[in-house]
Amino acid sequence: MLALEAGYVPACANEWRTGVCEKPRTLSGGSAAKSIDVVYTSLGSMFLEPAMSKEAMFTMKLEPELRDAFMAEAEASHRPASQVVRELMREFIERQRQAREYDAFLRAKVDTARAQIASGQYASDAEVEARFAARRVALRAKADGADA
């Protein structure tokens, strides 16, 4: 298993080069791991990512190839894997929230339309077509008058 320590750790180009960057490493564990344990700890950092006040363990099973590719991309971006996982979680939460808000908006629109139809506040297809045919004629006449 791979343990990841959470919290913002400033990344630099030399972060993973032995003997160059001596900041504490956030990764440990073997490369053949089939799951990732993410440990969230409060670091009290004032940098880009807010510090977490509680610890939580998150274990996820995945294919070794996926884990290795993820770890390689996290390393290539000079960011701790735990930071990338937290960002992915936040993005997922935001997408789900937006989807629920849109569903509620759409449901309200449909309910309003159904109520209007039930109360007789609607136009038939023929009425709408006639109204817009008259608008097209008026716009063409206006365009022809502007060209002259």
Task: Tell me how long the chain is.
Answer: 148
pLDDT at residue number 29 = 43
Tally of structural domains, the chain: 1
pLDDT at residue number 23 = 55
DSSP string, 104-133: HHHHHHHHHHHHHHHTT----HHHHHHHHH
pLDDT at residue number 40 = 44
Give residue 10's domain range: 1-148
pLDDT at residue number 145 = 85
pLDDT at residue number 55 = 78
pLDDT of the chain, 148 residues: tens digit per residue: 444 444 444 455 555 566 665 555 544 444 444 445 444 444 433 344 555 566 788 888 999 999 999 999 999 999 999 999 999 999 999 999 999 999 999 999 999 999 999 999 999 999 999 999 999 999 999 998 877 6
pLDDT at residue number 17 = 60
CA-nearest of 58, 55, 61, 48 to 85 is 58
Helix axes 81-118, 64-76, angle to 10 degrees: 100
Tokens found for residue 82: 């735990």
pLDDT at residue number 90 = 96
pLDDT at residue number 33 = 42
Q: Cite the DSSP H helix spans in 27-80.
A: 64-76
Please state, in angstroms and rounded to a whole number, the distance separating the CA atoms of residues 31 and 79: 18
pLDDT at residue number 67 = 95
